[in-house]
Amino acid sequence: MAERVAAYDTWLATSPEVPKLLLTFDSSPTLLITPEVAAWCKDHIAALQIEHVGPSGHHATEDQPEAIAAAITNWALR
């Protein structure tokens, strides 16, 4: 398992030909992607685009379905 995680880490950092999207939300104690984590991802993941979607609680897909759909659609069109 550790080898697989390490390989994925390497792939994330060295695959600029593969676009990636990270959705972020206003801080909540239940969300794992804090502003600091998002900044780390931006610095360490190749071809990463970050879209801030807005406020959300634990279930972002229930709180922001239209905003999430718009962010993914716009990303896919780019």
3 state DSSP class of 54: strand
Q: What value does the mean pLDDT take over residues 16-23?
A: 96
For 36-55, what is each residue's pLDDT tens digit? 999 999 999 999 999 999 99
**pLDDT at 70 > cutoff 70:** yes
3 state DSSP class of 21: strand
What is the tally of structural domains in the chain? 1
* Enclosing domain of residue 54: 2-77
Amino acid present at 52: H
Handedness of CA 3, 9, 10, 15 (dihedral sign): positive
